[in-house]
Amino acid sequence: MKRPARRGVFIYADVMTFDEVLHAFLLSLQLEAQLSVNTLAAYRRDLLHFSHWLGDAGDPVQVDRDTIERYLGAVLETGKPSSAARRLSALKRFYRFAVQQGACSANPTHLVSTPRQTRKIPRSLSEQDVETLLQTPDTRTPLGLRDRALLETLYAAGLRVSELVRLQVDQVNLHQGVVLVVAGKGRKDRIVPLGEEAVVWLERYLRHGRPHLLGERLSDALFVSQQGRPMTRQSVWHRIKKLAQQAGISTEYLSPHTLRHAFATHLVTHGADLRTVQMLLGHANLSTTEIYTHVANARLQQLHAQHHPRG
């Protein structure tokens, strides 16, 4: 006999198999939470991983806390804490659903702690490396003017690359020396100062570089390609990597966020308080920004060891 479950998802009142609960769970995520296909696939993959690990040792719908903790221990032996944390998150959501639907009597993940993850300290560039990188583009050409203005803007405002490529000309106020950053989903827009150098190079790019790149084409995008189209995240990353190679800067740890990390690290190193850096970066939580104190302290220790007579 079929009975209505929470918010229109139907399950059977008698004992359900794992596959049946999994199907109902994924359907509820699709209909109610409207998760993407990729996210649904990730949930399915993580839950099947647990089911395969359990094998014939028990029913995945009817397991206890000890089984969950042994599973997480097995994941940690072969993987990273982040993988174990992700799989536990999927299990917690799955068993909450199963309990609500009456498929199991208790949530075995209720008191299971999330594995502690070590916070990765982001790689950054030294101030000298940044200066070298900024001076690498050939500013005698329209493309070089664009690259110099792009690098200056990234470093001066600490933008995400996704924010940079969304910038439109009317979001930059060169008279006031600020840029309006229109953030992505779930983030707040913010106004960030640019600094004198970035303003100078943006003025030159807008006057002598961008018109040549556009030709007769029209675009609202601030940074455009040689074909006159808005730049993409991939094209920006490609240019940064190429310029770093030209400058003789190691690209082993280079990422699209490198200049953003350098922006935050150098601010903290020079005495900026975390609240200010948090607002400039657009971080929702101060805890996200605190990582840069570790970066700055590590850098100061390195400089002390290199230059102090008793380092």
Of 173, 206, 204, give the one whose Cα is nearest residue 191. 173
Which residues are catalytically annotated? Answer: 160, 185, 257, 260, 283, 292
d(CA 254, CA 91) in angstroms, rounded, equals 35
Domain ranges of the chain: 2-100, 127-307
Residue 190 main-chain phi, psi, to 5 deg = -150, 155
Checking if the pLDDT of 293 tops 90, the result is no
Residue 186, pLDDT > 60, answer: no
For the stretch 206-265, pLDDT in tens is 999 999 999 989 999 999 999 999 999 999 999 999 999 999 998 887 877 888 888 888
Task: Give the residue-averaged pLDDT of 77-99.
Answer: 88
In this structure, what are the phi and psi dihedrals at residue 50, rounded to the nearest 5 degrees?
-65, -45
> So what CATH class is 127-307?
mainly alpha
Q: What is the pLDDT of residues 22-78, one digit of tens each?
A: 999 999 998 887 888 888 999 999 999 999 999 988 889 989 999 999 998 888 888
Q: Which residues of 103-130 are buried (b: 16+ CB within 10 A; e: fewer)?
A: bbeebbbeebeebeeeeeebbbbeeebb
**Both structure tokens of 136:** 């690498």
- Is residue 227 helix, strand or coil? coil
- Amino acid letter, 104: C
